[in-house]
Amino acid sequence: MYAIVDIAGQQFKVEKDQKIFVHRLDNNEGDVVDFDQVLLIDQDGKVIIGEPYIKGALVSGKVLTHPRGDKVNVFKKKRRKGYKVMTGHRQDFTQVLINTIVEKGAKKKDETPKAASTTRAVKTSEQKEVKTAQKKEKKADKPIAKPKTTEAPKAAAAKTPVKKATTTKPKAKTTPAKKAAPGKASVKKAAAAKPVAKKAPAKKTAAAKPAAKKTSDKKK
């Protein structure tokens, strides 16, 4: 009988009383480890395949040691650049001894927290009911408050002075202006329309020149 299990991101074919090396686990030495991600189980020719995992299947083991793998040298070089780097690496592993392979009836780890959550929900509901009952009792014990009187607004209204009514004087009637007689108005408009004729400026008279004395051609 063997099974294929997913452990720390890798798939392993395991059998009972087999020792395997897996990636480093957080468990301490001597702790019991359960793996529920079982992909396949073969039991005397009867093969069960999961979708993707088999429900109820479980593989349990025991942590033996936390060894380290062999050293791996990593060398890097770039020619004609003078670049050379030499590094080493050692992978951390965990050695596990497989104890049992269970096909069905394995308990899931998520069942206990769910049961605890249901009990907590019941407790909280009971506490809420008790609190509501206590609040109702307190309300019943409280005296009924008297309604507040509305005297304050009345007093304020009494204090506000009443404005006196102001008497408005009637406006004096304006008498319309008398219309001028149609004849006189037309005469005035015509007179205003005619332009005043400008007097022509007087012509300047040439000043009388003194008469020239006659000279006799004959000499005296």
Tokens of 53: 């995992």
Residue 9: left if φ>0, alpha if ψ -120 to 50, beta else—which one? Answer: left
Q: What pLDDT is stored for residue 220 in this prediction?
A: 43
Question: Token pair of 92, please?
Answer: 């951390």
Look up residue 1 and give its two tokens. Answer: 């009988």
Distance, in Å, from the CA atom of 47 to the CA atom of 3, rounded to the nearest integer, reads 10
Fill in the DSSP letter of residue 206: P
Could you tell me if 93 and 22 are in contact, meaning their C-beta atoms sit under 8 angstroms apart? yes
Q: Nearest CA to 41 among 7, 22, 13?
A: 13
Which is nearest to 65 in space by CA: 102, 105, 21? 21
The answer to whether 103 touches 43, Cβ cutoff 8 Å, is: yes
The Cα 35–Cα 118 span in angstroms is: 26
Q: What is the pLDDT along the chain (220 residues), one digit of tens a residue?
A: 999 999 999 999 999 999 999 999 999 999 999 999 999 999 888 999 998 999 999 999 999 999 999 999 999 999 999 999 999 999 999 999 999 999 875 555 554 445 444 445 555 677 778 888 888 777 776 666 565 555 555 555 455 555 555 556 656 566 555 555 555 555 555 555 555 556 656 565 555 555 555 555 555 4
> Distances from the Cα of 181 to the Cαs of 96, 187, 190, 192, in angstroms?
136, 10, 15, 17
CA distance 37 to 46: 19
pLDDT at residue 31 in the model:
95
Residue spans per domain, the chain: 2-105
